[in-house]
Structure 1
Amino acid sequence: MEVEAENGTRSAPAGSTWRRGRPLVLIAVLLALVIALHELVPNRWGNLGSLVATFLPWFVLAVPLLLLAAALRRSALAALLALAPLAAWVGVFGPQLMPVEAEAYDLTVVQHNVADDNHDVERTVNLLLAEDPDIVALEELTSENLPQYEAALEPTFEHHTTQGTVGLWSRHPISERTRVDIRPAGIDASWDRCLRAVVQTPEGEVTVYVAHLPSVRVGPRGLAAYSRNRSAELLGEAIAADPAPAVVLAGDLNGNLLDPGLAPLTDEVSREEHGFRFTFPSALPVVQLDHVLARGAEVRDLRVLPRSGSDHLPVVSRVSLGQ
């Protein structure tokens, strides 16, 4: 029933399509604000900021659900505002979905967490070598699988170095190699997951870090990420203090580049993102944990490779040293 106002005009009835579905409207507005202002979500209360950043690319899937709910509720206002999260998502991720032209590069870098329970070393190595890389960075090397990787990679790479569970293979000479201690408090010295090496390429000297940050877990109290965050801080401090003009970081960082827990590290090394490069879990990837980042160099054309037998997917990037 329509209601006549005092001035003689008629207002919409209380049950009209423009007044129904107010809870849906509230949800849509809040979701749009979280997407657009995700950098302001505090990283406390169970690392809420990191948790939001981890799944932020997937928040767009809420839009069709909101539209369906609005249709069932017959709410025109809810249907209209269901597009607000989509607009916010496009504002955040739209630029990285734009096509880019191929550019010149100096090095091909392959990075892979090979997984300590991956027994198909031959298949894994063949997959990585198919990209004709100049540098290969591996994580989760063990006393059992390291000799196999060394034997399989030796015919292609004359130079290599390992430290704990990470390793670097290079076509070009390695002039320096050192351990980088990124252990969080409470972890004993047997935990050894970062190395620094100086590689002498024909285009100039490049310092390469290979790192594997601690894992994170989602539980009833949110995202358990203290150890990962502390390792990111230590690695960021090491890179910040490194006088090398060109630095490349390859590794499993156990977080995406939006994660505020990685900010102390990604403030030092970065790359321009293009598209989505999900690498974990390999059977159905939903988040990118594996990265190639740089300072004083430019990472271009990062791609995800097929499955290798690991629970992570490998990535390959083209790096311009700009020298």
Structure 2
Amino acid sequence: MVRQAGGGVTVAAKGRAPGGEGRRGMVVAGVAVGVAGVVGLHRAIPNSPGRVGSLVESFLPWAGVAVVLLFVVALVRRSGVGLVALLLPVAVWVQAFGGLLLPGPSPDTGARELVVVQHNVSDENPDPEGTARALVAAGADLIALEELVMPALSAYENVLRANYPHHAVHGTVGFWSKYPLAEAQLLDIKPRGIAAGWSRGLRAVVRTPYGDVAAYVAHLPSVRVGAGGLASSPRDESARMLGDAVRGEEVGGVILMGDLNGTVDDRGLEPLTSQLNVAERGFAFSFPAAFPLARIDQVLARSATVRHIRTLPATGSDHLPVAARVTLDPLQGSGRFAP
């Protein structure tokens, strides 16, 4: 800036308004603290009206993107205050999700391990045979499928039977296994208000080389996001029914596979996640297949560790298949997992 000063000319450097940098730094710092609070204290977010808490929890890992954006803003603005403040959300996010970024452990040939594939194949899948062949190529021991409808069901049965001679189908969910099944039966998880004939659950006992394992396959009701927020009451009720069934399960080892229409951070699935182990490694966002934003296809376990979960290549479904490695734990004194 140039201005006249008496008989001469004074040149003054053009600069920022006093305190401007500090104010901008405080804005970045304030947003950073807010992001850390959302990630670390998400259970404190009220779920009414509109189940906003569950909605936030469905996309919680994406808070990491907000942290990256704030980092860029702080660099551009050269805000030391903002950069220091960002250490808080980074630490909180890494504590919550950092472990999922680590590579899965190398396969242990001596481990009591099962490879499990879970896939909502879509009732509008134009290529059920191709989808079934892709699932076989994953080399799984157990395969759980949802949205099975005729005539596509016959295609899945025809392709899978050579590698998976043991299977059970109830309603629109099915289960295929390399190992013999016992006690395969319908599992009633139909919430109130849904018409009769809705059947999306089954339970079977798998005679694995390591002992009996109770396998559950479930497709919980869909949730919808609208002007009133997240509509998840039927899903939450079905999750409570499924949780009650798992709680009463007498077989020590349990593997639950299914399209649960919720992430493991969503409090609506707490009846399940409070008593079942979730994956230790891998994000495996599975839905929607065209641009995956969340993993709503889950593999959970009791008396077992879900070591790693990953997505498989896209099929004709609007979901991506997920594959998980599950290591069974011996139950002391029960003999259920005796080799």
What TM-score does the superposition give when structure 2 sets the normalisation length? 0.85
Larger Rg: 2
User: Are 2:308 and 1:301 aligned?
Assistant: yes
> 1 CA distance for matches of 2:211 and 2:112?
13
Q: Which of the residues 64, 67, 91 maps onto 2:95? A: 91
* Unaligned ranges ≥5, structure 2: 1-16, 330-336
Q: Which residue is 1:146 aligned to?
A: 153
1:76-116 Cα deviation digits (max 9, x unpaired): 43344244322321222123333442242432221110001
> Which residue in 1 is equivalent to 2:287?
280
SS in 1 for 2:59: helix
- CA root-mean-square deviation: 2.0
**Within the alignment, does 1:258 sit opposite 2:262 as a pair?**
no
Of 49, 53, 60 in structure 2, the residue corresponding to residue 49 of structure 1 is 53
**Residues 253, 16 of structure 1: alpha-carbon distance in 2 compared, 3 angstrom cutoff:** same
Q: Does 1:63 align with 2:47?
A: no
Give, in whole Å, the separation in 1 of the partners of 2:99 and 2:130: 36
> Which residue of structure 2 lines up, in the alignment, with residue 3 of structure 1?
none
| Offset from partner CA, 1:206-242 (integer Å, 9 cap, x none) | 1111000111122222211111111110000011011
Deviations 1:11-66 (A, max 9, x none): xx952523445444322221121112223323332112211111111111112433
Quick one: structure 1 residues 109 and 69, their matched pair in 2 at CA, closer, same or farther if it must change by over 3 Å? Answer: closer
Q: Distance in 1 between matches of 2:78 and 2:326?
A: 53
Q: 1:120-171: per-residue Cα shift (whole Å, max 9, x none)?
A: 1121111111122221110000122111111121222221110000001112
Quick one: distance in 2 between partners of 1:49 and 1:99? 30
| 1:78 counterpart residue number | 82
Matched, 1:164 2:207: no
Partner of 1:26: 30
Distance 1:98 1:74, change over 3 A: closer
The answer to whether the Cα contact below 8 Å between 1:43 and 1:261 also exists between their aligned partners in 2 is no
Q: Which residue matches 1:246?
A: 253
1:192-211 map, 5 Å: 192-211=199-218
Contact 1:43/1:49, CA 8 A, preserved across alignment: yes
1:24 and 1:317, CA in 2 relative to 1: closer, same or farther beyond 3 A?
A: closer
**Count of residue pairs brought into register by the alignment:** 311
Q: Does the 8 Å CA contact 1:19/1:75 hold for their aligned counterparts?
A: no
- Equivalent residues of 2:224, 2:230 under 8 A apart: yes
Q: Is the 8 A contact 1:252 1:290 kept in 2?
A: yes
Identity of paired residues, percent?
Answer: 49
